[in-house]
Structure 1
Amino acid sequence: MKLKGIERKRYDNGLTLLLEHLPEKKKAALVIGVKVGSVNENPELSGASHFNEHMLFKSNKYLSYKEIIRSLEYAGIITNAYTTYQYTAFYAKSPPREIEKAIQILFQAATNFSYEEKEFSLEKEVILAEIHNYINSPEDYVMSELFVPTLFRGTPLSNKILGTIESIKNIKKETLENFKAEYYTPGNMIIAVSGNFDIETVEKKVEETFASLEKRKSPNTNVKIDKRNEYYRKIETRKDITQTYLCSGYRVDGYESDDMHKIEFLSSLLSEGMSSRLFIELREKRGIGYSVGNIYYPLENVGIFCTHVDGFDTSRLKETENVINDIYQNLKKYGTKAKELEGMKNLFLSKYEDKLENVVNRGIMLIEREIYSIKFDFREKEKYIKEINNEDVMEIAEKIFTEDYTITLLMPEKS
């Protein structure tokens, strides 16, 4: 489906370029998505996509690390990068006059397949520290290192984005370089530019850089995950914590489903703001948990739906589980009243509008639309949310909230 106001180009080498010209904006966002993430890694390569992300702005044959950073920052260009289960992204938020420089430097980063040994070794230590930080942060650990791998046990989505201590320690520089060269092909890349920029300037610079790359065979990155759930309970104990951390949830539909917006709104009812069901029932009424909420993370054919309660007294575990179940059952049986339905729609859409104000977010939405084969226009979210009624809420709650859930618990070890 073609998007109004979005120019889409597909070059002979397989590269996809998306342009959203918004002259009223002060900045331009250049976002590059590469279809490679943790689902594409074997155990020995666990964390390779994330490691390559860390190496993007290191020294290359054109510039040293210091020259790259100074060239970007002194021009007012803000950069960042991140890795997900199914793609890696890096971006530059640039003043309009500096967009050519941003494209040039990100092109050099994307096509650098030879790392300096010293920088590689130092970054390995940084990533190991990052993994240890996750381990030392129970609320992060219980979600990304315990719940998601357990929910998707036996599938590529159980692979940890950061990798493991063992895999990062053992990975060789040449192995990492070869992995990047295999996946960072023009046909595996999507470039999105959103905001205030000169269209001709951007197109010309992309044609001189990314579009001029030789066409290479791109690996098959499509991964389909079974959405069936079954009850599974996993408990991990640690000596260094004094509270319990809970994540409970399901494999649900992803972007390809017509129910995606309903699932997103159901998650909002559970956890958006201080008016949400989980916040009121757990924290306000009972003082359970410092951080409580629900996460819906859609991918192409599957999504993660998870209720989390971070940091509560272990003696209240059964009570906590009962409260969560009661909330689920209430939504299945009664749904929501008109005042709550409209109020939560207003809150959801207000936050979404804030998200759209950021040109980087818009660029990310554009590349995700390509990567996940999303059919709807992200700028028309309001239409889909406003259509949701109480019957939809009850129907989707009935579909999701079954007894076949996965629950993971991080608990203090008994002395």
Structure 2
Amino acid sequence: MQNPIRFFDLENDFRTYFRPERNTNISGVAVLSGSLCDRPGKNGEAHLSEHMTSFRSKRHTPDRVDAIINKWMGGYGENGKLRILVDRSNIIFGHQDLPTRRHQLISFDMLARFPVDKVVDRGEFPSEKAVVRQEYYQEGLDDIKMLVGDLTREAVYGRTPSGMRIDCTFDDLVGITQEDVDNFVNTHFVANNMCAIFIGRSEKEATTLTRKYFGYLERGAEPPKPKTAKTCRFLKAVVSRYVVRDIKQYYFGFGVPTEGYLSEDAEAIDVLAAILSHRLWRRFRRGNKNFDGGAYRTPVEAERDFAGGLLSLRVATSGEDFLRKVIKGTLEECHKLKADLVPRTKLEVAIGNLETNYLDKIRSDPFELIVKAAANGDRNLVHLGGFRKRLRKVTQKRVCDVANKYLTDAYARVVVGPKEVNF
């Protein structure tokens, strides 16, 4: 049986999570604040802070940082093991599993110093601000799948913290200054708002490394964050968005708000999403015989953080008539889930799918699961550890209940396509 994930705290409330095991070398540091903590009119502060603080440290020049990433972590991009990113509730400075302990120690030495040293080079601010702008285009506006997701979220939550992009909003990015980044870093990069993760290190090793890099830090004031959502803020009417782009397909997005990370409905929502995704796949892919219609994938995602949740889906097709079928068919499938119990066999398949994916992540690389839990009110990992037990308690009636609760007649509807279509 695999060792459980354990944790300990330093006197300054810095927390370390660790799991002793052989032949695994995963580590990193997380700041438990992300884009949800961007101030009003400053969407992009967290992202730009991640860029600026990972450019150099007191010990590592930009050239040295580049050399370590390429030599010891396999480089940048999909083939490398570097894991520096910003999310809604956190910023991560870490790496995936590396070949040897030496690779891990050298990499961690650099990564740990980024959020601790907090070196923000004023001379590099214009360069990194421009990089964030290009990332906003490349992985936002010009990535249609991301665009549909962002528009759906915005349609559901508006210009609230939950409705904003993770990367930035262009108009906000233009106005973000060096002082704004300094303020975000000094406010959120404090010992009691950070944690370290070591997968593959013993408690003695994890303690030694934690005290070396974080033991001298002073405890800071609690960083300001949006309030934890206790209930779901339901939409009151259908909200529609239509964007014309020079592309070949029509992308349909659908979304409804849900409760947040610690919701009692969490696992039932996950099961509902899995079942709905499969039903849409069968209907729009296997059920289509028209060359001008059909759909390749029908992903349904259930996202949650401490500020709220979003159940959303995305379907792309090249035919105008089929787009109308997709919109109508999606609403019909939602109605069926509200009206009828799902077959027991389909429920078991969905639960099995979710359990398999959970086990794969928790056993091979639980880094991001740990950080997400810690940043969203589950600091002791009780909620994360109880996922399988709660998942197995999801019944046919429970799925029907959450469908009726969240799949209301008020929802967000987004279409991005080559021209406007009446629907």
How do residues 109-188 of structure 1 correspond to structure 2 at under 5 angstroms?
109-133=114-138, 134-144=140-150, 146-188=151-193
Specify the alignment match of 1:83 in structure 2: 86
| Number of the residue aligned with 1:368 | 372
**Residue in 1 aligned with 2:77?**
none
- Tell me the alpha carbon deviations over residues 250-307 of structure 1, each in whole angstroms, 9 at most, x when there is no partner: 1112222221111111111122xxxx11100112213433332211001125211012
Alpha-carbon distance in structure 2 between the residues aligned to 1:20 and 1:218: 28
Matched, 1:334 2:340: yes
Does residue 247 of structure 1 match 2:250? no
Deviation per CA, 1:40-88: give whole Å up to 9, x if none.
2234422111112223431232111221232354345732122122222
In the alignment, which residue of structure 1 is the partner of 2:411? 405
Q: Please identify, of 45-54 and 115-124, the stretch whose mean Cα deviation from structure 2 is larger.
A: 115-124
Partner amino acid for 2:119?
S
In the alignment, what sits opposite 1:9? Answer: 8
**Most deviating of 29-38 and 183-192:** 29-38
**3-state SS, counterpart of residue 217 of structure 1:** coil
Distance 1:365 1:60, change over 3 A: same
Match of 2:219 in 1: 215
What aligned pairs does 1:210-289 form with structure 2 within 5 A after superposition? Answer: 210-225=214-229, 226-271=232-277, 276-286=278-288, 287-289=293-295
For the Cα contact (< 8 Å) 1:291–1:311, is it kept in 2? Answer: no
Aligned residue for 1:387, secondary structure, equals coil
SS in 2 for 1:357: helix
| C-alpha separation in 2, matches of 1:211 and 1:34 | 16
Quote how far apart the aligned CAs of 1:245 are: 1.6
Counterpart AA for 2:42: L
Q: Does 1:52 align with 2:49?
A: yes
Residues 28, 111 of structure 2: 8 Å contact kept? no
Q: Deviations over 1:4-59 (max 9, x none)?
A: 833322222221222222x24x2222232212222222344221111122234312
Instruction: Return the match for 1:388 from 376, 390, 394.
Output: 394
Moved beyond 6 Å, runs of 4+:
none
Using the size of structure 1 for normalisation, the TM-score is 0.88
Structure 2 CA distance for partners of 1:154 and 1:129, relative to 1, 3 Å: closer
Query: Aligned-pair RMSD on alpha carbons?
Result: 2.4
Q: Structure 1 stretch 395-404 or stretch 287-296: which is displaced more?
A: 287-296
Match of 1:202 among 202, 206, 226: 206
Give the stretch that moved more between structures: 378-387 or 402-411: 378-387
Q: Which amino acid counterpart does residue 279 of structure 1 have in structure 2? A: W
TM normalised by structure 2 equals 0.87
Per-residue CA deviation, residues 321-365 of structure 1 (Å, 9 max, x unaligned), is: 221111112122222212222223333322332223322xx1222
* Mapped contact 1:29–1:193 kept (Cα < 8 A): yes
* Equivalent residue pairs, number: 402
In structure 2, list runs of 5 or more residues that go unmatched: 75-80
Verify the 8 A CA contact 2:250 2:417 in the aligned structure 1.
yes
The one-letter code sitting in structure 2 at the alignment partner of 1:199 is E
